[in-house]
Homo-oligomer: A and B are copies of this chain.
């Protein structure tokens, strides 16, 4: 099932869509692919054939262990590159979280060639790599030094910061479940719930439905 899923996506003309921030040359080698909710973009242990960039929607990069535990290592939003590896096989799988998730795929050799000749494209990819490194390092801090409620608060601030490019009032609609949050933070879903409750009682957030959080200004600003 997992292995066939990537065949189900529909190719779309690249002219239809804009890869966010993408240079014209990057766009010229992109294959646009669309995915449904929960659909596998590629799965772990699968052969790595190139890189991807999120055009729209949200994806999760994750690893499944034999014992069934899942670790989400990153969420990717429009403009993020993923599938970035120099190995032959993927260490992580990637799934679409939202319906109508669109990615641009760049065959590895084409992208390498392009970056060899086009410094602007190379610079952009490098920039995205650096951002990913900083995001992961920040996440290490969260994982290593925070209590469960602090982790959840940090996650909400992080996610809010990534999603809301526009100036806004602190409200946030989560495209992801408590289980996703739990597997990202390395805690149980029950503990995530309790943390939400605690943050609500403390006045850091208010909840209008489980997926609709409002960050209270002042209480939830600082890390």
B186 touches A144 (CB 8 A): yes
The contact string, 1 if C-beta is below 8 Å from chain B, for chain A 110-129, is 00100111010011011101
Enumerate the 10 nearest inter-chain pairs by beta-carbon distance, A residue then B residue, closest first: A144-B186, A136-B136, A129-B129, A143-B143, A71-B144, A116-B119, A73-B140, A73-B137, A69-B145, A71-B145
- A124 CB, nearest partner CB in chain B, Å: 11
Q: How many residues of A contact B (CB 8 A)?
A: 42
- A151 CB, nearest partner CB in chain B, Å: 11
B140 touches A143 (CB 8 A): yes
25 pairs of residues in contact across A and B, judged by CB atoms under 8 Å: A61-B137, A63-B141, A65-B145, A71-B144, A71-B145, A73-B141, A74-B137, A85-B130, A85-B134, A86-B127, A92-B137, A117-B119, A119-B122, A122-B122, A122-B123, A129-B133, A133-B133, A136-B136, A136-B137, A136-B140, A139-B140, A143-B144, A143-B186, A144-B186, A145-B186
In the bound assembly, the distance between CA atoms of A84 and B116 in angstroms comes to 21
> Which residues from 65 to 83 on chain A have a C-beta closer than 8 Å to any C-beta of chain B?
65, 69, 71, 73-74
A6 sits at the interface (CB 8 A) = no
Q: Which residue of B lies closest to A112 (CB)?
A: B123
In the bound assembly, the distance between CA atoms of A140 and B96 in angstroms comes to 20
- A135 CB, nearest partner CB in chain B, Å: 9
**Count of this chain's copies in the oligomeric assembly:** 2
A132 sits at the interface (CB 8 A) = yes
A198 sits at the interface (CB 8 A) = no
A177 sits at the interface (CB 8 A) = no
A133 touches B136 (CB 8 A): yes
Knowing A71-B144, A71-B145, A145-B69, the reply to whether A123 touches B116 (Cβ < 8 A) is yes
Most chain B CB inside 10 Å of its own CB: which residue of A73, A86, A123: A73
- Selected contact of A123 from candidates B92, B115, B127, B141, CB within 8 Å: B115
> Which residues from 165 to 184 on chain A have a C-beta closer than 8 Å to any C-beta of chain B?
183-184
- A53 CB, nearest partner CB in chain B, Å: 15
In the bound assembly, the distance between CA atoms of A130 and B143 in angstroms comes to 21
